[in-house]
Amino acid sequence: MGEFVRVEIEDGVATIRLDRPKMNALNAQMQAELTEAAARVGDDDAVAAVVLYGGERVFAAGADIKEMAALSAADMAGARSRRLQEFTTALAAIPKPVIAAITGYALGGGLEVALTADFRVAGEGAKVGQPEIQLGIIPGAGGTQRLARLVGPSRAKDLVFSGRHVQADEALSLGLVDRVVPDDRVYAEAVAWARTFVGGPAAALRAAKEAIDTGLEVDLATGLEIERVQFAALFATEDRAIGMTAFLEKGKAEFTGR
């Protein structure tokens, strides 16, 4: 759909494919195309789940530093820094299960893209990290926030303060990725995982994702209220009736997504 970002849909699974040779450096155009891709797959009822993928050799090595180096503090203080967060916010807001398929490097902005996913599958040779500190800056596309929420503040500070690259096995132990597979199986594993959501109760999956993600931002009492409202609203869906009827009749639910 764009010069550097493609959306491919097959059997209910959409792949958002990053394709800007050689390292998928995330320039402003690519960020805008990712925002558009997120909106497209989010609005398409034929899409049950999404895979973020950068190709066989690299996920994304980070922001386009050549483009960024020419910017001043005044440039970044305004719309540019907001746009930097807007594209990852759009990816994180996709109302469907999202799986990042990480091959090669996922560094800086590349890791920030992967952090927007609900799950991450990494190849055995993958390396992830937030090396921005080595450029005299910090992550600016959500890295300080999503990373800390995923692995805890101390581990996030270690990665952000040091800027070090993390091998796949350590990333798994940190909870930074969810599965590690041979490099040539990364995409297939992510797609297979995504396909487990095809034919599922789309409204309930959407509600579960929103309740969990929104609940992380608020106190427990408010989070419980968010859960209560989402839970109650699902009683208006066809899928709720289908699922409960199938359970009572000891059958298999055939959800409609409505």
Residue 238 lies in a domain: yes
* Coil, helix or strand at residue 102: strand
| pLDDT tens digits, one per residue of 199-224 | 999 999 999 999 999 999 999 999 99
CATH of the domain at 217: 1.10.12
- Whether 186 and 218 share a structural domain: no
Among 173, 195, 217, which residue terminates a domain? 195
Question: DSSP secondary structure string, 32-62?
Answer: HHHHHHHHHHHH-TT--EEEEE--SS-SB--
Contact in structure between 217 and 211 (CB atoms under 8 Å): no
Task: Mark whether 28 and 141 lie in a shared domain.
Answer: yes
Looking at the fold, whether 71 and 34 belong to one and the same domain comes out as: yes
CA quadruple 101, 29, 81, 24: dihedral sign: positive
**Which residues form the domain of 127?**
5-195
* 125/244 same-domain check: no
Residue 257 located in a structural domain: no
Which residues are known to be catalytic?
63, 109, 112, 132
Residue with the two structure tokens 């994702």? 209
Work out the average pLDDT over 230-246: 95
* End-of-domain residue from the set 195, 216, 240: 195
What mean pLDDT is reported for the chain?
94
Overall number of domains in the chain: 2
With respect to residue 258, please indicate whether it lies within any of the assigned structural domains.
no
Q: What is the pLDDT of residue 1?
A: 72
CA–CA distance, 168 with 163 (Å, rounded to integer): 16
Give per-residue pLDDT as tens, 115-136: 999 999 999 999 999 999 999 9
Q: From CA 227, how far away is CA 87, in angstroms rounded?
A: 27
Cα 157 from Cα 162, distance rounded (Å): 8
If you count DSSP H runs as helices and E runs as strands, how many of each does the chain have, helices first?
Answer: 12, 9
The C-alpha angle with vertex 1 and arms to 25 and 185, in degrees rounded to 5, equals 60
Q: What is the pLDDT of residue 78?
A: 67
- Express as a percent the part of the chain with pLDDT over 90: 87
Contact 201, 247 (CB under 8 A): no
pLDDT band at residue 63 using 50, 70 and 90 as cut-offs: confident
Identity of the residue numbered 147:
L
Question: Does a structural domain hold residue 232?
Answer: yes
Read off the pTM: 0.93
Residue 107 corresponds to which amino acid?
A: L
On the question of pLDDT at 67 being above 90, the answer is no
CA–CA dist 37, 29 (Å, integer): 12
